[in-house]
Amino acid sequence: MADESDAEEAVANGADGDLEQNVGQRFDRLPATPAERTVEGRVSREEVVDYFADRFGIPPETFDDYTFWEKGAGKIWIYAGEAPTPLSIESLGMTCLRTRQEHWKPTTDFVQRVGRHATDCVIELEREQARAFAAGEDQALEWDGDWGYLIAAHELAGGLEPLGIGLYVHGELRSMVPKGRQRDL
Amino acid sequence: MEPLERYRPIIDDFEAFLEACRRPLGNAVRINTIAASVERTLEVLDSEDVAYEQADWNPRVLRLETDSPGSTWTSFHGMTHGQEEVSAVPPVVLDPQPGERVWDACAAPGGKATQLAALMDDRGTVVANDSNLGRISALRFNAERLGATSLAVTNRDARNYSMKPFSFDAFDRALVDAPCSCEGTIRKNPDALDDWSEGYVDSVSGIQKGILRRAIQTTREGGTVVYSTCTFAPEENEAVVQHALDEADCRVVDVEVGLEHSPGLTEWGDEEFDASLEDAIRIYPHQNDTGGFFVAKLEVTA
């Protein structure tokens, strides 16, 4: 339903040019597709879902029951409940992705939430490596996949559990676990 | 312990009660079923040699045998959340269903709000409000850590809460876990009674009445409101519910929970309360070796 009203807005604002500026202090629902964009630099739902599918192999249908929102410059939130757009409240669901920068960066909490669905760019860590990662430490590691943001995971009781987001460059995995989430385990 | 003397006439085995209040509380955690099932979480605890005891009344509540429940793998992965055993009671009594619209009027730091989301399989809308901006950051941190995508956080005074920002005009259920004098947390915070005064009890009860009244107003007819505190003072418990019965459209319904408890009071001092207040529950520390709590369940009648 909201997708239709987004589309109507897009028509009202004219298809090209005259894009509005992002208002950082409120939640705005992402347009369904880039063609329906009304705010400069705002990503679309389609681009977000495609990113998680292309980079991590997370099936797009994982997100069928969720909406995506922007609050702050490039901060994308995922939400399962009902809400009108725009909306000025403290938070809506959880932050999942940082856009408006060259390399998009998923959040650690979100990766813990959906990372089990990922098949690509998942780097499996041994126990000591997982401990270092959880403590926020950088470590030298071999990895023959893509560089950039990876999902770090480790095995717990016979199942693979996502730990969070790491940045892999020049033979090193840098833990992106935020300070408040780091633990000595 | 001095302020607790006033409850000698209403608490059975008062010496056992005082004795329990002097004992520190163990470490309880709630399994966050948004992150992992109960079975999976127990598998991980077993494989990591963390000993636990599952609560009889709720398989999602565990007593952990560790000094640092926050430094376990289950905690890092958001599978467990430190939460006092009795504090897990009000959301269970509210019994929210997937897809519903639920209001948590005094939600920070978010243990109960995320428990509501988990009970709804993280489907639906949990509006988690708190009037204290300083506590909102803890609420947001916990919501993100536990992956509660159905939570919307607001920072307003619950007493005159406006439905305007939302796309619906009533909630299906509301939880009022009210700010209170916290007598029942004495085992966790030994200084909980240091600033106790009858004046504080009276002033906070005015706030509690205002929040409960608003929760009843914003809940649809036939909907459910749960009122809870972590204190023993009848001024903050039965008297607040009595005020709601007098001023708003609601009735008290039976609370069913598998923990030992005492019925709500029908009199205190020279005040008398409606007979239905007996269906509210008082949980005392010596009954289940927990903290103390009061829980009343209301049905909205108009």
C-alpha distances in Å from residue B301, one per residue of A31, B93, B237, B239, B250: 41, 18, 21, 20, 5
With CB atoms and an 8 Å threshold, state whether A94 touches B148: yes
Rg (C-alpha) for chain A, rounded Å, is 18
- Which residues from A are below 8 Å from B149, CB to CB? 66, 78-81, 93-94, 113
Whether the CA torsion B98, B100, B106, B108 is positive or negative: it is positive
Q: How many CB pairs under 8 A join A and B?
A: 107
| Candidates B47, B143, B149; nearest CB to A156 | B47
pTM exceeds 0.80: yes
| pLDDT, tens only, B145-196 | 999 999 999 999 999 999 999 999 999 999 999 999 999 999 999 999 998 9
CA-to-CA distance for B137 and B117, rounded, in angstroms? 18
| Cβ neighbours for A183, distance < 8 A, ≥ 6 positions apart | A134, A135, B70, B71, B75, B76
Name the H helices within B103-197. Answer: 111-119, 133-145
C-alpha distances in Å from residue B45, one per residue of A23, B26, B73, B121: 45, 17, 8, 22
Q: Which two tokens stand for residue A108?
A: 């650690």
What's the pLDDT at A182?
97
The CATH topology of domain A121-181 is 2.30.130
- Which residues from A are below 8 Å from B75, CB to CB? 183
What's the pLDDT at A154?
98
What's the pLDDT at A17?
62
What's the pLDDT at A7?
44
For strands B293-300 and B219-229, give the pairing: antiparallel
* Residue owning tokens 């708003």: B248
To the query of whether residue B21 is one of the catalytic residues in this protein, the response is: no
SS3 B272: strand
Is the pLDDT at B123 greater than 50? The verdict is: yes
B30-55 average pLDDT score: 97
SS3 A70: strand
Q: For residue B36, which of A157, A132, A80 has the smallest C-alpha distance?
A: A157
Delimit the CATH 2.30.130.60 region(s) of chain A.
121-181
SS3 B279: helix
Is the pLDDT at B232 greater than 90? The verdict is: yes
Please give, rounded to a whole number of angstroms, the shortest distance from the CA of B202 to a CA of chain A: 31
- Mean pLDDT by 10-residue block, N- to C-terminus, for chain A (185 residues)? 43 60 94 96 97 98 98 96 97 97 97 97 98 98 96 97 98 98 95
Do residues A75 and A30 lie in contact, with contact meaning Cβ atoms separated by under 8 Å? no
What's the pLDDT at A185?
92
What's the pLDDT at A11?
44
Is the pLDDT at B88 greater than 50? The verdict is: yes
| Cβ neighbours for B97, distance < 8 A, ≥ 6 positions apart | B120, B124, B172
What's the pLDDT at B67?
81
CA-to-CA distance for B68 and B72, rounded, in angstroms? 7
B11-29 average pLDDT score: 96
| Cβ neighbours for A95, distance < 8 A, ≥ 6 positions apart | A75, A76, A77, A107, A109, A110, B144
What's the pLDDT at A127?
97
Q: What are A's interface residues with B at a Cβ cutoff of 8 A? A: 65-66, 78-84, 87-95, 107, 109-110, 112-113, 134, 156-159, 161, 163, 180-181, 183-185
What's the pLDDT at A13?
45
What's the pLDDT at A12?
45
CA-to-CA distance for B302 and B216, rounded, in angstroms? 9
Name the H helices within B218-275. Answer: 238-247
B250-272 average pLDDT score: 97
- Which residues from A are below 8 Å from B140, CB to CB? 90-91
Cis peptide upstream of residue A178 (ω within 30 degrees of 0):
no
Please give, rounded to a whole number of angstroms, the shortest distance from the CA of A161 to a CA of chain B: 8
Q: What is the mean pLDDT of chain B?
A: 97
Please give, rounded to a whole number of angstroms, the shortest distance from the CA of A159 to a CA of chain B: 9
Percent of chain B with pLDDT over 90: 96
| pLDDT, tens only, B186-197 | 999 999 999 899
Q: How far apart are the first and last CA of chain B?
A: 42
With CB atoms and an 8 Å threshold, state whether A66 touches B77: no
